[in-house]
């Protein structure tokens, strides 16, 4: 093999190693739970009005009213996630102005799954009104259990 070909191979290897190191360092900076950028909300017909418009997590203090938040990360084709959809729509409707409810389809938006450190779906993340994560739940969870979790966390949703 001639010397110029060897130099090209070595240069390509050096570039590949530098790129791998840079990617690894970038992934360390964006560890799950840091929420450095807002997720893109998946809009799916099966979720009705739960998906809504563009979302921010946690809510920006100056941009929106400070509300507790339930973030459901799942997929619109996952059976337990499909079972959650009507409950989330009901919570969003019944607690409008008191609770923010958001769904993110991590199959359509895998970056969000990585950002939130999701390993199984559905996963629900409970936030207080200040945007701090207070709890997580993996799997299907009923409406009453969601409300009970907020009560347990000391989050007042203005229930009767």
| Catalytic residue, candidates 40, 56, 78, 140 | 78
φ/ψ bin of 117: left (φ > 0), alpha (ψ from -120 to 50), beta (otherwise): left
What is the distance between the alpha carbons of residues 155 and 99, in angstroms, rounded to a whole number? 10
Of 42, 67, 73, 81, which one is the catalytic site residue? 81
* 100-105 vs 69-74, strand pairing mode: parallel
Active site residue 153: no
Q: What's the length of the chain?
A: 160
Sign of CA dihedral 86, 75, 54, 138: positive
Q: Catalytic annotation on 78? A: yes
HEC secondary structure over 127-153: ECCCCCEEEEEECCCCHHHHHHHHHHC
Q: Helices 143-152 and 79-94 meet at what angle, rounded to 10? A: 60
Mind telling me the catalytic residues? 78, 81
């Amino acid at each position: 093999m001639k010397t110029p070909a060897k130099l090209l191979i070595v240069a390509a290897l050096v570039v590949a190693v530098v790129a791998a190191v840079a990617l690894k360092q970038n992934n360390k900076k964006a560890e799950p739970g840091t929420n450095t950028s807002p997720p893109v909300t998946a809009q799916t017909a099966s979720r009705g009005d739960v998906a809504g418009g563009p979302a921010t997590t946690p809510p920006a203090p100056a941009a929106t009213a400070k509300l507790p938040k339930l973030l459901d990360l799942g997929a619109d084709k996952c059976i337990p996630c499909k079972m959650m959809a009507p409950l989330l729509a009901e919570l969003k409707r019944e607690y409008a102005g008191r609770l923010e409810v958001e769904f993110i389809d991590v199959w359509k938006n895998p970056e969000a799954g990585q950002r939130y450190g999701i390993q199984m779906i559905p996963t629900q993340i409970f936030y207080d009104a200040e945007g701090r994560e207070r709890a997580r739940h993996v799997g299907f969870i009923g409406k009453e259990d969601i409300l009970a979790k907020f009560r347990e966390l000391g989050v007042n949703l203005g229930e009767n």
